[in-house]
Amino acid sequence: MQKHILVVDDEPQIRELLGLYLSKNGYRISTAANSVETMESVQADPVDVIILDIGLAGEDGLGLLTRLKEANPHQRVIMLTGMGFVEDVIQESVAKGADGYVNKALPLTELLMAIDRVLNETSDPGHRQDEGESGLCERAA
């Protein structure tokens, strides 16, 4: 059975690019442009991983991350950003339950690796990998 990924970004080109790339790599893809569409989508059709843009218009991605985790504490979420490596944002993402952090400027293979890591982690919700293995720190582009 295909794993289901929800791509959340307010830029249609990013949603389309990631959707095509991930579907070609064997995933079933849904997309959302904002927090309302995201919450409706996960309620209607649960997903294995959410790729969530931090810089959403309206409610930002960190606020939406909080709501997603309140609705389902076990929901897997990888934050996507065009801001680069911003330690404060990474720390806030981790504190709110993000499972990964990927820069939009990195090759798409980095996103695939983050998805694979998140999907293959232990099902123990209390399990967190060591900092060096967390996937939350991106490499420089």
Quick: pLDDT tens for 34-48. Answer: 999 999 999 999 999
pLDDT category at 141 given cuts 50, 70, 90 is very low
Q: Where are the domains of the chain?
A: 4-133
This prediction has a pTM of: 0.84
Q: How far is CA 46 from CA 39, 66, 93, in A?
A: 10, 17, 21
pLDDT at 88 over 90: no
Q: Does domain 4-133 have CATH number 3.40.50.2300?
A: yes
Inter-axis angle of helices 87-95 and 61-71, to 10 degrees?
20
Phi and psi at 25, nearest 5°, equal: -100, 20
Cα dihedral 74, 118, 82, 63 in deg (nearest 10): 0
Quick: pLDDT tens for 92-139. Answer: 888 899 999 898 888 899 999 999 999 998 544 444 443 333 344 443
